[in-house]
Structure 1
């Protein structure tokens, strides 16, 4: 009689050999049903089919009855049967998962307009949010100096919340803009996948003032009493005897000591603080602490000559005010309305309602703006034709916008 270990190895071999066809069939069924119909085939049914196919294919598993299991090679047959069962279950699960994750219509535009996976979107305060985190190492950008290790560590710790209904291309743009504004990076390349994981390549901040001075402007330093909290990019006015000069802060330094933000920016102390209270340290833009110092302002060429003739002058920070667009969005939100950016899919999804007026009458949403590949057109005419590929900003109730989004997808 053959030893039990040999029968087990023989059974594994036979199971792998006989399970190839059942595994392929199980993968195909799981994928096609989930991709086409959106349903998951019961695993038990797939196992029964796989065992039957293994009996037809291998010739050894067709008669799993007592006369076979009681035979001298029963261990071989049982092990082979278990191997076929596990192969069938595994390939069915892989096919089902691939069918759920694969986009329904694979086009160049569809790949560009991918959205986040539903599993990573959280509902917070009545709206969807996603947390974008940097994964892997932060790469350097070719042609630029390498990132300092403290800055690289701060970038790896980034975890920001964004609206969960954004397309991946829009999400990448927002992450890029925020990285540029908060870390003053020269160059940023961001790639975000469906699960909110960002791959990042970045170049360190510009070392010289000239790289931060806008084209056509001149940077001039002025000794002054520096306001507390001034940051790069603030709009300021320098008060001279013959008038005022307006410009943008390129850099500022005050003698008021080290600001709290700068103290927490040290990687070692930030790590200690995070270890003490388990709260991640959010990076912040460097600001002044107030006191005597110098402010470098980007101004026009004529204003630069006026500032060069001045040894010292007061500097005041201009108020940027409240963006009217945010006030408008607040009013719409309080009225139960929402604004969303959508793109019209292919094959004329709107049909006879392919105009702003038709969309309003058919779906109850208002088309605020349209872009057909060129510039945005605000408040388009009711009879303006809408075509596949057009981008829209629409306003309406959440239910109406969701219904309209399903139609145009």
Structure 2
């Protein structure tokens, strides 16, 4: 046969014979690199590939004795070696890049797509909007139309540097608090689209009335910003009654709710303007339980049983909000800030520098949540200092405090 034909036959025989040696070389390269971190020597790959190919080639030589005397044998050997070395290189690369500590927790901790993250200063945030219809929770009555429309047209801003399971938990807590939902289940995808299944409030007022007290509704002038949980004084002539606000609503709140429900929503959840252009940040269609707009309205207050009669007989009660003082948590953060320290939460990515004492000289770990201690997307497993004894591992979440420069350096070294 002519030389070109011999070369083509050699390529054919090399591809046919080199499949098994390439598969074995790639598998061994991956296993050795993944479990030991050592690259399998190329000479060993060549010897192994030639050994396997010689078995197949010997069987083929029994059928065609002229193969050993033709140029096609040399071409076939070169093809087998190239396939084996290429497969070994790819297997070694895969063994080096594949995470060695792969757990169900790390798989469950999905993150948001970078396209939906908004940078606000040095922090990222994301606007979560519902997708599809708001579903009814099985075993509960259907949602009222107003509440269903409020949830469907709503949008919520949340931090973007936490896993999706944590985002789902925070949104559930916010919606449960804002709308007194009996139960709720939220699923958020990588594009910050939320699938919401909710149950309407059931017995919300009775659950909020403390034992031994009664809920009384009065019509009065409501101060702007009054919210559930505020401590108030109701002055009825010569008597002053102490109580806790359970709910409050004014005429302005009702007007705003009516105006919001009459605006037709667009497909992306925003509210359409008269000229057809959507608003960039629509106002919520229902004021949450955070505060009221103020004005003439009605307030439901939890008061002692003996004060119910006096409160109901009052003709023009006056509502005064009591001061709770300064929040101790905010005071603590203010003191830390004035001292030149900052507190930051991060997820550990690399632990190479954690064992170095110099890297933690000015950084204090306040709390740690281990990677395997989170179950079902619920927050468990926080260990607070000084009980942090075990070294940090990849995937752990940690709160740290220290000077801002030291914190930035620490985050750059081990942060994910």
The TM-score range, normalised by the shorter chain, is: 0.5 to 0.7
Report the more deviating stretch, 273-282 or 134-143: 273-282
Distance 2:99 2:191 in 1: 14
Task: Decide whether the 8 Å contact of 2:359 with 2:410 is kept in 1.
Answer: no
- 1:108 pairs, out of 100, 104, 114, with 104
Alignment of 1:283-322 (within 5 A): 283=284, 284-285=286-287, 287=292, 289-291=294-296, 294-299=298-303, 303-310=304-311, 311-312=313-314, 313-319=317-323
- 1:388-408 alpha-carbon deviations (Å, 9 max, x no partner): 6865311354633433544xx
Task: Decide whether the 8 Å contact of 1:135 with 1:199 is kept in 2.
Answer: yes
Q: Structure 1 residue 140: deviation in Å?
A: 0.8
- 1:309-366 alpha-carbon deviations (Å, 9 max, x no partner): 33224221234566454566577679886533346689x877646xxxx5x7447532
The corresponding residue for 2:125 is: 129
Structure 2: any 5+ residue segments left out of the alignment?
1-18, 35-96, 266-270, 374-379
Q: Tell me, what secondary structure is at the counterpart of 2:142?
A: coil
Alignment of 1:62-211 (within 5 A): 106-206=102-202, 209-211=205-207
TM score, norm. by length of structure 2:
0.57
Task: Decide whether the 8 Å contact of 2:272 with 2:278 is kept in 1.
Answer: no
Distance 2:299 2:202 in 1: 18
Distance 1:183 1:166 in 2: 24
Q: CA RMSD in A?
A: 4.3
The answer on 1:282 being equivalent to 2:283 is yes
- 1:37-79 alpha-carbon deviations (Å, 9 max, x no partner): xxxxxxxxxxxxxxxxxxxxxxxxxxxxxxxxxxxxxxxxxxx
- 1:403 pairs, out of 377, 387, 412, with 412
Figure out how many residues of one structure are paired with residues of the other and give that number: 299
Distance 2:252 2:133 in 1: 34
Distance 1:210 1:332 in 2: 41
The corresponding residue for 2:80 is: none
The change in CA–CA distance for 1:404 and 1:319 in structure 2 (over 3 A counts) is farther
Report the more deviating stretch, 257-266 or 153-162: 257-266
Distance 1:144 1:103 in 2: 44
The corresponding residue for 2:245 is: 248
Larger radius of gyration: 2
The change in CA–CA distance for 1:115 and 1:405 in structure 2 (over 3 A counts) is farther
Q: Which has the higher contact order (CA 8 A, sep 6+)?
A: 2
- 1:261 pairs, out of 226, 244, 256, with 256
Distance 1:267 1:401 in 2: 51
Task: Decide whether the 8 Å contact of 1:150 with 1:267 is kept in 2.
Answer: no
Q: Structure 1 residue 165: deviation in Å?
A: 0.9
The corresponding residue for 1:5 is: none
Distance 2:388 2:325 in 1: 35
Q: Structure 1 residue 130: deviation in Å?
A: 1.8
The corresponding residue for 2:400 is: 394
The change in CA–CA distance for 1:332 and 1:282 in structure 2 (over 3 A counts) is farther
Distance 2:347 2:211 in 1: 35
The change in CA–CA distance for 1:225 and 1:134 in structure 2 (over 3 A counts) is closer
Task: Decide whether the 8 Å contact of 2:226 with 2:248 is kept in 1.
Answer: no
Q: Structure 1 residue 385: deviation in Å?
A: 0.5
Structure 1: any 5+ residue segments left out of the alignment?
1-20, 37-99
Q: Structure 1 residue 306: deviation in Å?
A: 2.0
Task: Decide whether the 8 Å contact of 2:128 with 2:193 is kept in 1.
Answer: yes
Distance 2:344 2:234 in 1: 41
The corresponding residue for 1:92 is: none
Task: Decide whether the 8 Å contact of 1:231 with 1:285 is kept in 2.
Answer: no
The corresponding residue for 1:385 is: 389
Q: Structure 1 residue 211: deviation in Å?
A: 4.3
The change in CA–CA distance for 1:127 and 1:104 in structure 2 (over 3 A counts) is farther
